[in-house]
Amino acid sequence: DAKTTQPPSMDCAEGRAANLPCNHSTISGNEYVYWYRQIHSQGPQYIIHGLKNNETNEMASLIITEDRKSSTLILPHATLRDTAVYYCIVRGAGGTSYGKLTFGQGTILTVHP
Amino acid sequence: EAGVAQSPRYKIIEKRQSVAFWCNPISGHATLYWYQQILGQGPKLLIQFQNNGVVDDSQLPKDRFSAERLKGVDSTLKIQPAKLEDSAVYLCASSPGISGNTIYFGEGSWLTVV
């Protein structure tokens, strides 16, 4: 599996954009980048995923660098309910890690009023 | 569309007792996962099923943990005998297939071993 590196914590003001970075320098060509978040006492919630192009859905945008070694999750207008642990995951594409999500420590995002 | 259902939501047992968790995946999802999440850590994969067959159970402590998915739908995860370090949230997840599909998680079953 490609490993990911995320800052342990970040703060954001309510209504502003939250930009969460992730490094995945060992990602291989057919591995996808997935983002999940986990609000206290709930299961992980899928946010978005991408391969090489930027992606956007109703929750967030995902910006992947051209060399695919890093990405940024953007929550365009953060609310207090976005306070959670955000996990950046490179999903296995072959061998024993095929299809699996391997979670790291994630980034604790705190949105302030 | 109904999500991944898990029960019980909370369980407290004494060490050396046994416990079982049940999971009902999203209808039609062939792949089912069990994860263990210890407080303060990210979830760790225990076992992965494709239909009723095991794809990967390399991280499952087989001396005390067992899991089955009879008929390729519901699944149960059993711990016997439980140890204090088994205190964790047990998350079930499912997806339509092994790759290229989103994995959806249930709310989890919280286990406290005292």
Task: Look at B108 and A42 and tell me if their CB atoms are within 8 Å.
Answer: yes
Determine contact: B56 vs chain A, CB below 8 A: yes
Instruction: Report residue B38 as tokens.
Output: 């210890």
Give DSSP secondary structure letters for chain B: ----EEE-SEEEE-TT--EEEEEE--TT--EEEEEEE-TTS--EEEEEEETTEEEE-TTS-TTTEEEE-GGGS-EEEEESS--GGG-EEEEEEEESSSSSS--EE---EEEEE-
Q: Residue A60: helix, strand or coil by DSSP?
A: coil
pLDDT for the residue numbered B98: 74
Question: Which of A42, A46, A104 comes nearest B42 by C-beta?
Answer: A104
B51 close to B70: Cβ distance less than 8 angstroms: no
Work out the average pLDDT over A28-42: 91
Residue of B nearest to A96 (CA): B56
Confidence of residue A2 (pLDDT cuts 50, 70, 90): low
pLDDT for the residue numbered A15: 97
Task: Look at A44 and B4 and tell me if their CB atoms are within 8 Å.
Answer: no
pLDDT for the residue numbered A109: 98
Name the minimum distance, in Å, from the CA of A103 to any CA of chain B.
Answer: 5
Q: Beta-strand (E) ranges in chain A? A: 9-13, 18-23, 32-38, 45-50, 55-56, 61-64, 70-75, 84-91, 107-112
pLDDT exceeds cutoff 80 at A34: yes
pLDDT for the residue numbered A33: 93
pLDDT for the residue numbered B2: 81
Determine contact: B106 vs chain A, CB below 8 A: yes
A31 close to A92: Cβ distance less than 8 angstroms: yes
Residue of A nearest to B4 (CA): A43
Determine contact: B1 vs chain A, CB below 8 A: no
Residue B35, φ and ψ in degrees, nearest 5: -120, 150
pLDDT digits (tens, 9 = 90+) for B53-101: 999 999 999 999 999 998 889 999 999 999 999 999 999 999 988 776 8
Task: Look at B56 and A100 and tell me if their CB atoms are within 8 Å.
Answer: yes
Confidence of residue A98 (pLDDT cuts 50, 70, 90): confident
Q: Residue A45: helix, strand or coil by DSSP?
A: strand
Residue of A nearest to B45 (CA): A102
pLDDT for the residue numbered A113: 95
How does strand B65-68 pair with strand B109-113? unpaired
pLDDT exceeds cutoff 90 at A29: no
pLDDT for the residue numbered B1: 64
The residues that bridge with A56 in the sheet, in sequence order, are A61
Work out the average pLDDT over A73-93: 94
Contacts of A45 in chain B (CB under 8 A): 105
pLDDT for the residue numbered B100: 67
Work out the average pLDDT over A25-45: 92
pLDDT digits (tens, 9 = 90+) for A52-74: 989 999 999 999 999 999 999 99
Determine contact: B109 vs chain A, CB below 8 A: no
Determine contact: A104 vs chain B, CB below 8 A: yes
pLDDT for the residue numbered A102: 87
pLDDT digits (tens, 9 = 90+) for B16-47: 999 999 999 999 999 999 999 999 999 999 99
